[in-house]
Structure 1
């Protein structure tokens, strides 16, 4: 991770290896180190990586100087710039209104309650496979109106996609992407065949939408649903794992939240600031710019490291300390600028409901001795595996809820 004089094929110095063993052993600690020693760093794998909050914010709020078009694969609207991005963004925002979020909350609570209830027969649980991942799949399918029969295939798809990404197997990644698109197209075909009998859900509604005077094409709908679902499955599962891990390690915080659930929203925001579920995003520089003391040229790849920017002591006092009452407005958990996550309100509700149900249904829990959590490997954040245990009976009464 120390800067060196090696040269990459484009002539830039290679400052670090994002896939190196020292980085993957603990990504958060490694990014803290890079932010302090080489905050604008180059690598073959990520291009320019930015670790400081100010640099990250500069890039993601300057859509003229840094483009979101980073791949030849269409990505609606994530991989678009204005003015093309504007119409699609306006279209999808209607699906994430507070009214829709509130209406979906009882469904999320039922799913979370069922999953937590299934844990009660045992004193130890593997959090990611038994709670976090199934919750992410079930709430996403519920939100989009997809059938239960997709729960298993989508979880398998997530695992295959993660393995192919880690192996940098581009052929497998392309095949896996087509497999996911086939799931979506099957849902669209079923609704088209049903005609007026199609279910009144978000997926059906997307098929009726237009951009200007043109009806959305299948490819656009597939891309929108792919972006929603792939992002949701990975980040919601990672968030649940990160939060449960933090509460298992910090018994006093867990106890306080059990007594006062109104503190859950700020606690969750702060826990996820400390350990980001979404590590990075890509941009392409459209003009030459100097960041730090490094020259970035037009056409260069730029990677913003959210998980580092959110721990920058220049912005967050005692940045590595849990302080839930701090000002969360600089928190980059859901991004910033025109590409800020449109589903942030939905995600916040889903996480609050899951942790609320967990605290309702499971007694005080701790990490299982001798079973160390396994950190996820870039590009994933959070944990790959996490085991917790409890020796007590479920709480007799819930804490004060909001």
Structure 2
């Protein structure tokens, strides 16, 4: 006989949650910090609980998916070996070497934006920038720009429809693209381009070459996360600056504050809503008994707005302790590409500020993206040209 289902504390897919997810997460953090639902199982909203979970990888495992996920869905010691192999691809030297190309892409895209007329920033800048910098970093050809943009559109449509068949088809299509890129490099042999994708084909783990499905998983994790979170972040930051002209002016006067400002804006409004963990033993969280193996959903978008840690969650302060910001996670599963993401966001927002005298809202507030995505689906802005441009 199956166990009776637990009563739901909330519905993550309710219309009022989807209409204003940040307000809904704030409400849950204050009233029901560990909440059950059929859709997300046990959602954890408080900063202390989330931080405690991500720092205790012995009690809370990351192997929460039935699909291969390298290294996100692995625990030590397997995770340790994969991270040791992956982290050099995002080290300081590689990120610094990529900076000029990244800034060139940002400047070219921003330079093509219409000024003195409303522009929908997600389609005109955020998504193209995410696609182009990802292709440039990975060594993928420009011919992939349009197919990847079409893939992003298809994924967004599938997410909006909540159709599992459409989502599965989108995932399969992306994996096929990656397999094609790998086969091209195998066929080229010594003439294959000297880039990250080729390097992965030559990597070993535990003394053996990587299997194709392992490389596909790595590139899927890097690319899907990059295309979604970078585009979302660009939209969130640009809209925030348009709605807060005093901060916009401050950053124009002192661009060295831009990186801290980006992190703080994305603390206030998260580009990535949540992540998963699975307890390896029975635990108690927020007064709730949770059995080993039950899924936990860590709601970054709520934890990063916890009044107990940040005071007024909507106050934008550039002097906060960066160790408290869960934007890029924490512990052994913290995002290995955080430095790259910060470079990319700094490059594109700096280019946007340099090319304009002001960035202003051009209509109503943006429509929220659909869970699990964060940020906005559309962002309408008016760009006033800088003097002499």
Common fold by TM > 0.5: yes
Partner of 1:79: 73
- Post-superposition Cα deviations, 1:206-253, rounded to whole Å, max 9, x if no partner, equal 000001210111111110000000000000000000000100000111
Partner of 2:89: 95
**1:213 counterpart = 2:213:** no
- Out of 373, 381, 393, the residue aligned to residue 385 of structure 2 is 393
Distance 1:315 1:10, change over 3 A: farther
Distance 1:395 1:276, change over 3 A: farther
Partner of 1:237: 231
Q: Where does 1:150-169 land on structure 2 (aligned, <5 Å)?
A: 150-169=144-163
Distance 1:115 1:286, change over 3 A: same
- Post-superposition Cα deviations, 1:134-181, rounded to whole Å, max 9, x if no partner, equal 000000011000111111111221222233234332222222211111
**1:331 counterpart = 2:361:** no
- Out of 349, 365, 369, the residue aligned to residue 376 of structure 1 is 369
- Post-superposition Cα deviations, 1:262-298, rounded to whole Å, max 9, x if no partner, equal 1111111111110010100011222111111111111
Q: Where does 1:294-333 land on structure 2 (aligned, <5 Å)?
A: 294-333=288-327
- Out of 37, 40, 60, the residue aligned to residue 43 of structure 1 is 37
Distance 1:309 1:121, change over 3 A: closer
For 2:353 and 2:4, how far apart are their aligned partners in 1? 52
Cα deviation for residue 68 of structure 1 reads 1.2
Partner of 1:145: 139
SS in 2 for 1:113: helix
SS in 2 for 1:364: strand
Aligned structure 1 segments of 4 or more residues deviating by more than 4 angstroms: none
For 1:273 and 1:280, how far apart are their aligned partners in 2? 13
Q: Where does 1:17-56 land on structure 2 (aligned, <5 Å)?
A: 17-56=11-50
SS in 2 for 1:315: helix
Q: TM-score, normalised by structure 1?
A: 0.94
What count of residue pairs does the alignment treat as equivalent? Answer: 388
Partner of 1:113: 107
CA RMSD of aligned residues (A): 1.5
For 1:76 and 1:243, how far apart are their aligned partners in 2? 30
Partner of 1:4: none
SS in 2 for 1:193: helix
Cα deviation for residue 337 of structure 1 reads 1.0
For 2:103 and 2:3, how far apart are their aligned partners in 1? 51
For 1:37 and 1:348, how far apart are their aligned partners in 2? 34
Partner of 2:271: 277
**1:181 counterpart = 2:165:** no
For 1:83 and 1:323, how far apart are their aligned partners in 2? 38
**1:246 counterpart = 2:210:** no
For 1:310 and 1:268, how far apart are their aligned partners in 2? 14
Cα deviation for residue 9 of structure 1 reads 7.3
SS in 2 for 1:314: helix
Cα deviation for residue 396 of structure 1 reads 4.5
Does the CA-based 8 Å contact 1:68-1:283 persist in structure 2? yes
Cα deviation for residue 121 of structure 1 reads 5.2
